[in-house]
């Protein structure tokens, strides 16, 4: 039952081979060590930059690969197949770089994107705060104009790539009296006085990802570090870019479902119970048939969304549907697959255990699934 995404072509097939070779060589042998260290090697970013895996969908004039979101999708699939969930390359490539591409001036794009494409800089975006969660209108971090500078003060948490980031897009209030209309995006370079990192957070999954707390103690940045033509555009910018972030979560959720199915098929055909392979029991076959069906439905829905996104036609409610449904169904599928592994499914040395803990957060970040349903319901 082979299936090929309709947006794949020969160029993407060739790129998949490049991504596969890189991930098998540079990721797979290091996964265990990175999980212990709670971060990937900093040098991984430079190696990826050298072979052209960073800023894949950013134009070549800014140092990027000149590709599309399809290239990002192929890369993350190969990363998952290599057994890694720690390298925050999709956030770097598909989110942070695209904020700069979409809203940066030519000067900003030429200054920041080539460094991200080479791996000299790692990118992060600091939205969530300890007290706000998905409520981005209520951020407390402030950026106060002082002459030719902004003074940024506040704290952020759950920041992907936070432990290694060199350039951070900070969601801050430039006018506390205006609610959402007073929100702006300010770029903060990590070498500025007053910026400091808190602890790398101890999560139940994504152990190799350097998710961190960030603190801004009156950090001064040039006023030219504002993203956009004027203050107060941040909330609109977030709403315009969040669909791609949610599409990325759909991508990773569908891939997780497919990998869980493949892993469990192999395990149940090899594992013996009561004198025969576990796969030969009707319950096993029926469960896997259900998962295979939902994985295919998820893949077809995802492919439709990717195709629409490549044409600039993906709307906010549709990608909200994709995000909540695929992240929810992937969690159910992986849980069923873990059950079919028996006690071994609960052991960290088995890939299914890591898939289970890694997948759970997909229902939370990028806007919780409850927020996704709220977005959808507004259009009904």
Residues with catalytic function: 245
Q: Are 363 and 327 in contact (CB under 8 A)?
A: yes
Strand intervals (E) in 69-166: 123-126, 142-146, 149-159
Q: Tokens 């990175």 sit at which residue?
A: 34
Torsion of CA 32, 35, 40, 41, to 10 degrees: -60
Tokens linked to 329? 């169904």
Phi, psi of 267 (to 5 degrees): -65, -45
Q: Are strands 272-273 and 226-227 parallel, antiparallel or unpaired?
A: unpaired
Backbone angles phi, psi at 170, to 5 degrees: -105, 125
Quick one: tokens of 158?
A: 């759950």
User: Which among 159, 175, 173 has a CA at the least distance from the CA of 96?
Assistant: 159
- What is the 8-class DSSP label of residue 60? G
The answer to whether 352 and 264 are in contact (CB under 8 A) is: yes
For residue 40, what is the DSSP state? -
Q: To which H or E segment does residue 276 belong?
A: strand 276-277
Q: Are strands 183-189 and 226-227 parallel, antiparallel or unpaired?
A: antiparallel
How far apart CA 309 and CA 305 sit, in angstroms, is 6
- Tokens standing for residue 299: 């893949």
Place of tokens 């030719």: 148
Helix (H) or strand (E) holding 253: helix 234-270
113 vs 60, 65, 102, CA distance in Å? 10, 11, 12
Element (H, E) at 187: strand 183-189
Residues across the chain: 380
Contact status, residue 39 vs residue 45, Cβ threshold 8 Å:
no
């Amino acid at each position: 039952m082979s299936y090929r995404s309709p947006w794949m072509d020969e160029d993407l097939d060739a790129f998949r081979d490049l991504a596969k070779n890189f991930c098998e060589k540079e990721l797979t042998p290091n996964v265990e060590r990175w999980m212990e260290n709670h971060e990937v090697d900093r040098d991984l970013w430079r190696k990826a930059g050298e072979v052209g895996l960073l800023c894949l969908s950013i134009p070549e004039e800014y140092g990027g690969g000149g590709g599309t979101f399809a290239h990002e999708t192929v890369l993350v699939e190969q990363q998952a197949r290599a057994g890694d969930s720690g390298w925050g390359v999709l956030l770097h490539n598909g989110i942070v770089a695209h904020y700069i591409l979409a809203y940066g001036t030519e000067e900003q794009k030429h200054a920041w994107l080539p460094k991200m494409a080479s791996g000299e800089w790692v990118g992060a975006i600091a939205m969530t705060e300890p007290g706000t969660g998905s409520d981005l209108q209520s951020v407390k971090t402030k950026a106060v104009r002082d002459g030719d500078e902004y003074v940024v003060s506040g704290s952020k948490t759950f920041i992907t790539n936070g432990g290694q980031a060199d350039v951070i897009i900070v969601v801050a209030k430039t006018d506390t009296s205006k609610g959402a209309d007073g929100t702006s995006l300010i770029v903060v370079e990590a070498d500025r006085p007053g910026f400091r990192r808190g602890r790398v957070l101890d999560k139940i999954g994504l152990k190799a990802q350097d998710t961190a707390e960030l603190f801004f103690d009156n950090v001064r940045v040039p006023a030219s570090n504002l993203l956009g033509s004027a203050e107060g555009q941040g909330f609109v910018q977030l709403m315009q870019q969040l669909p791609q972030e949610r599409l990325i979560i759909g991508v990773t959720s569908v891939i997780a479902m497919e990998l869980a199915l493949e892993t469990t098929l192999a395990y149940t055909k090899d594992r013996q119970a009561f004198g025969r392979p576990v796969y030969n029991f009707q319950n096993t076959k029926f469960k896997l048939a259900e998962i295979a069906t939902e994985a295919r439905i998820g893949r077809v829905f995802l492919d439709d969304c990717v195709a629409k996104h490549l044409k600039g036609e993906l709307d906010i409610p549709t990608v909200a549907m994709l995000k909540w449904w695929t992240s929810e169904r992937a969690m159910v599928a992986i849980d069923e697959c873990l059950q079919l592994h028996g006690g071994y499914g609960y052991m960290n040395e088995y890939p299914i255990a890591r898939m289970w803990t890694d997948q759970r957060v997909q229902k939370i970040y990028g806007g919780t699934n409850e927020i996704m349903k709220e977005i959808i319901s507004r259009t009904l």
